[in-house]
Amino acid sequence: MYSNSGNQTPLVEVRNMKISQEIVDAINDQINFELYSAFIYLSMGTWLEEQNLGGMAHWMEVQYQEEFAHAMRFYRHLTERGARVTLKTIEGPKTDWASAHDVFADAYHHELLVTARIYKIGDVADKLGDRSTQSMLTWFYNEQTEEEANTMGIRDKLKLIGNSIPALLQLDAQLGTRPPAPPIPAESTDP
């Protein structure tokens, strides 16, 4: 461990690279939050399964896998730069909802929170001139746009559907066709 006197944040000892402890801490927190996100979506999945909405449950299982892949993308970024990943306790997720609409409304609001957190990491990277982290985050900025749009779109369809069981089952069947999540990225900047 050494410090770059004059700068505000110490630099962590790395394998021939430098990374600020402030970025390491922020990304470690985000790894935890992505894993928490995975737990939330799996919890939503089991609730939907219980309501006989197997297609929506499948959608959530795929989302669970995507969140795990997001955590691993941040994990790779730290390990590629020689920093240590510190795993933390994951909070238990919510387990009950009033309707499928409420599940996807929660999912949309959760994604807004994720986006805000990732923007904050970007702000720290900007402040420190950490171009490597900025480059890695570009993938997440695009991903968050997609995740917000997906969850908001499903929520809004469920609002239109209201109490129509046939329409609900039609949407459930459609969401059951969601393709599997892409493989865990081998590198933090994989497309």
Which chain residues interact with ligand FEO by CB under 6 A?
34, 37, 67, 70, 111, 114, 147
Q: How far is CA 142 from CA 47, 104, 139, 146, 149, in A?
A: 29, 20, 5, 7, 11
Q: What does the alpha-carbon distance between residue 11 and residue 142 come to, in Å, rounded to a whole number?
A: 29
Q: Residue 191 CB, nearest distance to ligand FEO (Å)?
A: 16
Q: Residue 70 CB, nearest distance to ligand FEO (Å)?
A: 4
Q: Which is nearer to ligand FEO, 103 or 168 (CB)?
A: 103
Q: Which is nearer to ligand FEO, 97 or 139 (CB)?
A: 139
Residue 19 phi/psi, 5° resolution?
-145, 140
Q: Residue 57 CB, nearest distance to ligand FEO (Å)?
A: 17
Q: Residue 5 CB, nearest distance to ligand FEO (Å)?
A: 36
Element (H, E) at 68: helix 54-80
Q: Looking at beta carbons, which residue is closest to ligand FEO? A: 70
Q: Which is nearer to ligand FEO, 4 or 145 (CB)?
A: 145
| Longest CA–CA separation in the chain, Å | 66
